[in-house]
Amino acid sequence: MNWRRIVTGSVLAAALLLAPLHYIAAETSETDKNKETLLKAYEDLLQHYSKPGQEKLVEAAIQGMIESLNDPHTNYMPPDDYSTFINSINQNYAGIGIVAVADEERKGLEVREVFPNTPAEKAGLAVGDLIVKVDETLPTPGKVQELNRLIRGKEGTVVTLHVVRDGKNIVIQPTRQIIQLPLVKQTDAGNNVHMISIYSFGEKTAEEFQKAYDEAILSNAKALILDLRGNGGGYVDSAIEIADFFLKKGDIVVFHDKSGNDQPVAADAQGTDIPLAVLIDENSASASEILAGSLRKNNRALLIGTTSFGKGTMQTTVKMPNGAFIKVSIEQWELPDGSIIDHKGIQPDIRLSYPQLFVNAAVQALVPNRKQELTYSQGQGAAILNGTKLADSPVLITLNGKVYIPLRFTVEALGSAVSWANGVTSFNLGGKEIAVPKGQGTALTGGVTYIEAGAFAKLIGKPIAIDKDKVTIRY
């Protein structure tokens, strides 16, 4: 696909050819004057009695210009920082080998994946662990994701992770090593549904995606889940190529020429027909949002999860004569329908609150007629959904001799979003719209709304096995 050439080559050249000569001359004159002013200020400031170094003044001037843009995605990067940035996109860095995403409510990083034969696995870190402190640094509210950066560091050094597991505080100390993590991973989600997780849009992401897709098809996959949770972006062309893989028609993304005219990137006619659901969360950003948004706007996939990050700008890196780089925002792109997601994010079709339920909800959306079983047990503490124990799930409570189950968690476990409005809880199960007025068999405990198990059974029209210690819902 030649979208780069279209956007940055021929369109710009045409704009220059059609521009009036007197306008070009005036613009050139103004540019020259500004360059001379900047250079003179630099030369004069070198005479300051404090004897500032040339490199210090140059970097300060660049940083000042960048700060005036009020754009967190435009940055000045010394050579080492640039190498770290590129290696991070390609999943090659000194770290411990995990995927961990911010949980602002619990003020920590939730470990979503621990890769085999990595320092994290050897040190005993596990999926579901909550990292609440890295060395001596506690997370800053609203910026919990920054703990991920602190986990990475110099090869051979030890990082101290303060972890909460099953309500207990433990300390784990892996030793960082150079790691090449996969950009893409394919797993079996059951019911002939396979999941392809894309961790970053690196140089080889599209190539690894094709291999993962082929593996899924060879394993008799009848539907796919595309997991973009925690994926902060990377190379835009990788996201466009994967979107094009699924689409047979329509636009993928809309860029602009220098005059602001739309330059849509269209899909070719070679896309697949396999049923598709996409998982997103608050850490799905940039290239992830191009991919998820294009599939959603073209009615190709359901989005499941939470509202995405909201980074609707595209950057390029420019090498400076001193060896440093400037990453500069050059475009605010739009989705195919003209919507701008910058600072807004993309709303999912099925909005869920519990991350441990996202994959099951995606399978349910793709295989709506499958049978499910959800069990709450006082003895086990955690719920069991379709044979899998769910960490950090609400438990049963007993009030006035009656057994109550957590309402939102139960409905989301069965694959439906839950909404509250004017004191009414509503959801859709099996195509049936259900509304629960406040107080109708419900109780609020510890900030969680519970519903009496028998009342829930009547609402959904399914029998529920209930005793004082255990509730089993088959749906």
**83 is a catalytic site residue:** no
Backbone angles phi, psi at 176, to 5 degrees: -65, 145
pLDDT digits (tens, 9 = 90+) for 301-340: 999 999 999 999 999 999 999 999 999 999 999 999 999 9
**d(Cα 163, Cα 171) in Å, to the nearest integer?**
6
Question: Which residue in the block uniquely carries the two structure tokens 């207990």?
Answer: 168
DSSP structural state of residue 144: G
User: Domain 184-357 maps to which CATH number in 3.30.720.210, 3.40.50.300, 3.90.226.10, 3.90.1150.10?
Assistant: 3.90.226.10
Write down the catalytic residue from 286, 356, 364, 416.
Answer: 286
Q: What is the mean pLDDT of the chain?
A: 90
In this structure, what DSSP letter does residue 201 have?
B
Instruction: Assess whether 286 carries a catalytic annotation.
Output: yes
pLDDT higher than threshold 70 for residue 22:
no
Give CATH for domain 92-180: 2.30.42.10
CA distances from 17 to 5, 11, 23, 27, 262 (A): 17, 10, 12, 15, 19
Entry pTM: 0.87
| 343 DSSP assignment | T
pLDDT 10s digits, 194-240:
999 999 999 999 999 999 999 999 999 999 999 999 999 999 999 99
Please choose, from the candidates 293, 304, 287, 381, the residue with its C-alpha nearest in 3D space to the C-alpha of residue 338.
293
Exactly one of 315, 356, 393, 416 is catalytic; name it. Answer: 315
> Within 13 Å, how many C-alpha atoms sit on residue 257's CB side?
14
Crossing angle for the helix pair 205-218 and 236-246, nearest 10 degrees?
Answer: 30
Phi–psi pair at 103, nearest 5 degrees:
-120, 95
Q: Which of 311, 364, 393, 416 is catalytic?
A: 311
Report the alpha-carbon distance of residue 455 to residue 110 in Å, rounded: 34
* Cα–Cα distance for residue pair 379/107, rounded to 1 Å: 28
Residues 6+ apart with CB under 8 A from 53: none
23 has pLDDT over 90 = no
Q: What is the pLDDT of residues 232-288, one digit of tens each?
A: 999 999 999 999 999 999 999 999 998 899 999 999 999 999 999 999 999 999 999
pLDDT (mean) for 179-189: 94
Q: What is the pLDDT of residue 439?
A: 83
Query: Backbone phi, then psi, for 42, in 5-degree steps?
Result: -60, -50
29 belongs to the catalytic site: no
**Per the structure block, which two tokens stand in for 89?**
């996109």
Q: Closest Cα partner for 106 from 77, 133, 78, 71?
A: 133
